[in-house]
Structure 1
């Protein structure tokens, strides 16, 4: 039995407002609907609406002007520049990317992947593992996990590299739509096979970016575990202060 994993309501509302900004419904320089109007339009509570608006202000999509209300700034430059490991993994063309496919097969789902996919422990899933290399050096290991039903009718279980990205392949074959991604960054020691593939000495940790890909309903379609040698990484973020 699969369990649906939904993004929080305020995140989904923020994403809806964001899409309306991008398609011109809420044009830059105009006021967004009032909190009361948003509550009535979307059927959500005031705290949910307030939290969504605060999230968009924090990320630079909106700003408050005294005596005028909340106005649209448009797509912020920092969003365009921000490094998105999950998006890169989803949109990488295996046939053109520097690197190689190192594993394709069905495995018992690891515990934290099971949680993200909403699957019981020991469920069999398809894993597709790609090692990214630059100048002959391994720089990133991407392990993508798919529920069995998601892989049916696709070429994801082929040991040949895909022509195009995983996202393009799934959206074309399964008629699903990737809507949003949640990334969770943590540090851990790699498993023996992971350390060997990445060429890491004993005791060198990795940064794990767990990428949970969902459709508009919040159903998890794919989970990718992106591993980066921690001694070669530096994380930087830029954001506006209100």
Structure 2
């Protein structure tokens, strides 16, 4: 089992501020509270507040304007034409994917996932883990976590592959609507089980793409951890400079 840690303070603060942007507390065009005000309001250090604001600026939620301070831009527009790991994980038909389901069961929620899903730390969640293979070689291990209340009345807990994407299945069965996805890419060492499934020697790193799929209010509906062997990946993006 992988070692899980709670999200850093600056990430949790960024999530809180993002939620306030989405619920209209900080509407587009408004100024967010100053660093001093945020330090006092949340009882966090200035470096933590600065890192949270920088994260939101990087992701397109905020921007700095000369003479105005930090301004709310609102929810970033999704660039539909680009390939996204998160969209792939949410929308692929499991029954047509080369690979296999390796785990479908209720598990104790990992601390970081609990924070993202907004469930108690001692809760159990459904884990649905899919190993993707290409050319006979494992290329991806996708672990999706769902809160218990969202699983009821669906086929997510069945051990057979879904014949539609997880997003389409949940939207049809639970009448929820997926609105946007946040992806966070980091590197870490896999657990022994993860390394074995991916056919990797212990000690080799993986890229973790943490996919947080939310409704329009910013509530996370599911969290998926997409693991990619680092030595088999090359990330590239091309964009204009404003």
Q: Same fold (TM over 0.5)?
A: yes
Mark the CA change 1:202 to 1:124 in structure 2 (over 3 Å): closer, same or farther. Answer: same
Deviation at 1:146, TM superposition (A): 0.2
Map of 1:147 onto structure 2: 147
Q: Which moved more, 1:106-115 or 1:140-149?
A: 106-115
C-alpha distance 108-55 of structure 1, shift in aligned 2 (>3 A):
closer
- Given that residues 181 and 214 in structure 1 are in contact (C-alpha distance below 8 angstroms), is that contact kept between their aligned partners in structure 2? yes
CA distance in 1 between counterparts of 2:124 and 2:139 reads: 28
* Unaligned 5+ runs, structure 2: 1-14, 33-55, 64-76
Q: What do the CA deviations read for 1:195-220 (whole angstroms, capped 9, x no partner)?
A: 01000012101000010010001111
Q: Would you say the 8 A contact 2:22–2:217 is kept in 1?
A: no
| 1-structure distance, mates of 2:213, 2:174 | 15
Larger-Rg structure = 1
Rounded to whole Å, the distance in 2 between the matches of 1:196 and 1:92 is 24
Structure 1, gaps ≥5 residues long:
14-41, 59-74
* Structure 1 residue 45 displacement after superposition: 4.8
Q: Structure 1 224/43 Cα, relative in aligned 2: closer, same or farther at 3 Å?
A: closer
Provide the C-alpha distance between the structure 2 equivalents of 1:11 and 1:191, rounded to a whole number of angstroms.
36
1:31 is aligned to: none
- Give the total of aligned pairs: 191
Equivalent pair of 1:128/1:144 in contact (CA under 8 Å)? yes
Give, in angstroms, the shift of residue 47 of structure 1. Answer: 3.2
Q: CA RMSD in A?
A: 2.9
User: Alpha carbons of 1:43 and 1:205: their partners in 2 closer, same or farther (altered >3 Å)?
Assistant: closer
Q: Does the alignment pair 1:46 with 2:30?
A: yes
Does residue 1:82 correspond to 2:66, yes or no? no
Secondary structure of 1:47's partner? Answer: coil
- Number of the residue aligned with 2:205: 205
Alignment of 1:19-30 (within 5 A): none
2:138 is matched with 138
Partner of 2:168: 168
1:11 Cα deviation (Å)?
6.8
- In structure 2, the partner of 1:95 is 95
Partner secondary structure for residue 95 of structure 2? coil
**Which residue of structure 1 aligns with residue 183 of structure 2?**
183
